[in-house]
């Protein structure tokens, strides 16, 4: 990072602050401040009709955890397994694109991104159609008796997990691809020259070098997947409600703002804790791009 130590004029000294000011203020006013009001709201009591008052009402927190612990668990369960699924699906594909797709590399990357130009609501609805009990995927399998008649995917945790893995897939594949792409080909060659077989090359050289990408992918996929509720709403069934849905319902339907705010705050603190652990282990450079 070249710091122009010479000619340190006022303009120079002020420049970074002027550059950062508008965007930083925007983030401060519309991200930091809302989080503060969320915290304040979570300590209010009262109801919508008579009005809410701030009263250090910490009771919202144990209440929220007590009523909706199951939904928090669902969120971790489905969000977590979706992240693993996305990782397992994305890594080999990213590997192949990075190392073997040759000149068509960018075409493949484009193909990964293209479906995501279409609104994810529409895509999730299309999955609903595809996974239907007698839909284009299951009906043929049932017709040739590969699957029993009463098997279903829709309205199960499997559909929710798959939907989440699909929705956030590019967030997994792209960082992995980026880190694989960065792997110095000379290192790979050198390992080969040193009698490492392909498996060993992968195991000892490529995999370790791609780990930052894997962790960035896990973070970028896992967090939105844990908090999502649209997939669960469209693809889930009985007993698959995730906590995001509960927060949304408490805000938008029951207008119980304090309880909703405390639920959201718990979710945020949980995700934050995971992020801190992550940062301790790997730093955040990989997401922030240096």
Partner 1 sequence: MTRERDLPRYVEPSFLRGLTASRITRRDALKGAGALGLGTFLAACGVGGSTAPSRVNWVWDKATKTGQLDFANWPLYIDSTQDASGATTHPSLDQFTKDTGIKVNYSEPIQDDPTFFAKIAPELKLGQATGYDLMVITNGIQMTNLQLKHWLVELDPAKLPNFFQNAAPRLKDRSYDPGNRFTIPWQSGFTGIAYNPSLTGREITSFEDLFDPKFAGKVGMMDGNQDTGNLTLIGMGINPQKSTPKDWQKAADKLKKQRDDGIVRKYYDQTYIKALSAGDTWISMAWSGDIFQANLSAGNDDLKFVIPVEGGVIWTDNMCIPVGAAHPLDAITYMNYVYQPAIAAMLAESIDYVTPVPSAKDAIDKDVAQTTDPAAKQSLQATAGSPLVFPSQSEYAHSYYYRELTPSEAGQWNDIFGAVILT
Partner 2 sequence: MPAQALPRDPARRPAAGVRARRRFRLGSLLLPAYTHLVMLWLFAPIIVMVLYGFNNTHGRLNIVWSGFTLRWYANPFSIPTMTSALVVSLITATLGMVISTVLGTMIALAGHRYHYRGRTILDAVMVLNIAASEVVIGSAMLTLFISASMPLGLPTIVLAQVMFSIPFVAITVRARLAGFDPSLEEAAQDLGASPLWTFLLVTLPVIFPGVLAAALLAFALCMDDYVITSFVSGNTLTFPLWVYGATRYGVPPQVNVVGTFIFVGGGLVAVTGALVRSWRSRRLAKEAAL
Scan residues 242-281 and list those touching partner 1 (CB under 8 A).
Answer: 245-246, 249, 251-255
CA distances from 117 to 63, 113, 205 (A): 40, 7, 35
Residues 224-283, interacting with partner 2 (CB under 8 A):
224, 226-230, 234, 244, 247-248, 251-252, 257, 260-261, 264-265, 267-268, 271-272, 275
x/- track of binding to partner 1 for residues 205-244 (CB under 8 A) = -----------------------------x-xxxx-x---
Stretch that binds partner 1, among 64-72, 166-174, 221-229, 270-278 (CB under 8 A): 64-72
Rule CB under 8 A: choose which of 49, 51, 117, 144 binds partner 2: 117
- Quickly list DSSP for 60-112: HHHHHHHHHHHHHHHHHHHHHHHHHHHHHHHHHHHHHHHHH-GGGHHHHHHHH
Which residue number, 32 or 151, has a Cβ lying nearer to partner 2? 32
Q: Which residues lie below 8 Å from residue 255, measured CB to CB, with a gap of 6+?
A: 48
In the complex with partner 1, the residue whose CB is nearer, 57 or 83, is 57
Number of chain residues interacting with partner 2 (CB under 8 A): 101
Residue 211, binding choice from partner 2, partner 1, none, Cβ under 5 to 8 Å by partner class: none
133 binds, among partner 1, partner 2, none (CB under 5 to 8 A by kind): partner 1
Which of 73/269 has CB closer to partner 1?
Answer: 73
Q: Which is nearer to partner 1, 135 or 270 (CB)?
A: 135
Alpha-carbon distance of 268 to 290, in angstroms, equals: 25
Residue the block writes with tokens 């122009």: 4
Is residue 270 left, alpha or beta, with left meaning phi > 0 and alpha meaning psi from -120 to 50? alpha
Cβ 148 to partner 2 shortest distance, Å = 23
Pair 85, 161: CB distance under 8 Å: yes
Q: Which of residues 59-88 bind partner 2 (CB under 8 A)?
A: none
Q: 10 Å Cβ neighbour count for 24?
A: 12
Residue spans of alpha helices (H) in the chain: 10-27, 33-41, 60-100, 105-113, 120-131, 138-143, 157-167, 169-182, 185-193, 198-201, 207-227, 230-235, 243-252, 257-282, 285-288
Establish if 122 lies at the interface with partner 1 (CB under 8 A).
no
Kindly list the residues in this chain that would bind partner 1 in the complex (CB under 8 A): 47-49, 67, 70-71, 128-129, 132-135, 150, 152, 154-155, 234, 236-239, 241, 245-246, 249, 251-255
């Amino acid at each position: 990072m070249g710091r122009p130590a010479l000619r340190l004029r006022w303009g120079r000294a002020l420049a970074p602050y002027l550059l950062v000011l508008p965007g930083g203020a925007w983030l401060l006013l519309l991200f930091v401040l809302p989080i503060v009001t969320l915290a304040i709201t979570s300590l209010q009591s009262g109801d919508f009709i008579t009005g809410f008052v701030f009263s250090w009402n910490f009771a919202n927190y144990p209440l929220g955890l007590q009523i909706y612990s199951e939904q928090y668990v669902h969120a971790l369960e489905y969000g977590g397994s979706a992240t693993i699924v996305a990782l397992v699906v994305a890594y080999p594909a990213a590997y192949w694109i990075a190392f073997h797709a040759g000149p068509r590399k960018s075409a493949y990357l484009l193909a990964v991104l293209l479906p995501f130009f279409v609104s994810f609501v529409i895509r999730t609805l299309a999955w609903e159609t595809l996974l239907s009990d007698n839909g284009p995927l299951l009906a043929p399998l049932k017709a040739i008796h590969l699957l029993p008649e009463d098997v279903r995917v829709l309205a199960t945790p499997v559909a929710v997990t798959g939907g989440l893995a699909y929705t956030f897939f590019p967030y997994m594949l792209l960082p992995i691809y980026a880190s694989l792409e960065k792997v110095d080909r000379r290192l790979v060659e050198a390992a080969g020259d040193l009698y490492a077989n392909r498996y060993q090359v992968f195991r000892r050289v490529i995999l370790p070098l791609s780990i930052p990408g894997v962790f960035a992918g896990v973070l970028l996929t896992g967090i939105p997947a844990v908090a999502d509720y649209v997939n669960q709403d469209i693809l889930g069934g009985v007993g698959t409600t995730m906590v995001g849905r509960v927060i949304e319902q408490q805000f938008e339907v029951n207008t119980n703002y304090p309880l909703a705010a405390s639920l959201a705050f718990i979710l945020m603190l949980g995700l934050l804790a995971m992020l801190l652990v992550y940062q301790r282990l790997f730093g955040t450079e990989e997401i922030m791009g240096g």
